[in-house]
Amino acid sequence: MRNPDPDWEIYIEQFIPRLDPLLDELENYTRWHTPYPQMLSGKWQAAFLHFLVRLKQPRRVLEIGTFTGYATLAMAQALPDGSKIITLENHPENLSIARRFFRKSKFGHKIEAVETQAPNWLNRNNEKYDLVFLDADKENYPLYYQIIKKSLNSGAWWITDNVLWNGKVLNPGRDPQARAIAAFNESVRRDPQLETMLIPLRDGLLWTVYRP
């Protein structure tokens, strides 16, 4: 959802969780110090992820695609004590910013940040997770469908970002990212072990529950 009316934004923000003020600082830093600040999760999306974590109360969370850590910190704020987020990022410049803000956050002790190629890391690890947030390289979404499903505990929640890809999934044409996302969406939709709801928030979130 994108609504340019500031009065609507003020009204809506009365109904979303209050996030750590450090996220405002991180948002500003990201906008001035990264070449693609639009990759940042917006406040509403971060608040939605925070809300889901608060509902689910997961013990182990996996985030694929840290960027500068905005969504990571929003989820960490909602995690119960003793729980942990493992967040994977393959761009050292982004991860350096994220780690700087993780160290500043009172929730940073709940986060383990790993610099890695996510598919390789996932294939080497056999851990299971209660909640997964996927926001990584779009052309690999079909590959992530195969890998992530094996990493889910029964009843786990799996949230995937950018599943509408600015509407291009309706007619992907030759756009390789749109084609990959459309194929991913269809695989998830047809999987009898996955219950799915598409949330039209920002560029589309796919909320999936694993029922083996």
Model pLDDT for residues 162-182, shown as the tens digit of each residue: 999 999 999 999 999 999 999
Domain locations in the chain as residue ranges: 6-210
CATH of domain 6-210: 3.40.50.150
**DSSP class of 41:** P
Residue 40's pLDDT is 87
Cα dihedral across residues 155, 122, 84, 103: positive or negative: negative
Neighbours of 142 (CB within 10 A): 17
- Taking the complete model, does pTM exceed 0.75, yes or no? yes
Name the band, by pLDDT with cuts 50, 70 and 90, for residue 41: confident
Mean pLDDT of the chain: 95
The pLDDT tens digits of the residues spanning 68-117 come to 999 999 999 999 999 999 999 999 999 999 999 999 999 999 999 999 99
Report pLDDT digits (tens) over 187-203.
Answer: 999 999 999 999 999 89
CA proximity to 157, closest of 211, 111, 119: 211
For 8-40, how does the pLDDT look when each residue is reduced to its tens digit (9 = 90+)? Answer: 888 888 999 999 999 999 999 999 999 988 888
Amino acid occupying residue 66? T
CA-nearest of 81, 84, 82 to 72 is 84
- In this structure, are residues 159 and 207 in contact, taking their beta carbons and an 8 Å threshold? yes
Give the separation between CA 53 and CA 66, rounded to whole angstroms: 17
Which residues face 113 on adjacent strands? 87
Residue 4 CB neighbours (<10 A): 6
Are the C-beta atoms of 46 and 22 separated by less than 8 Å? no
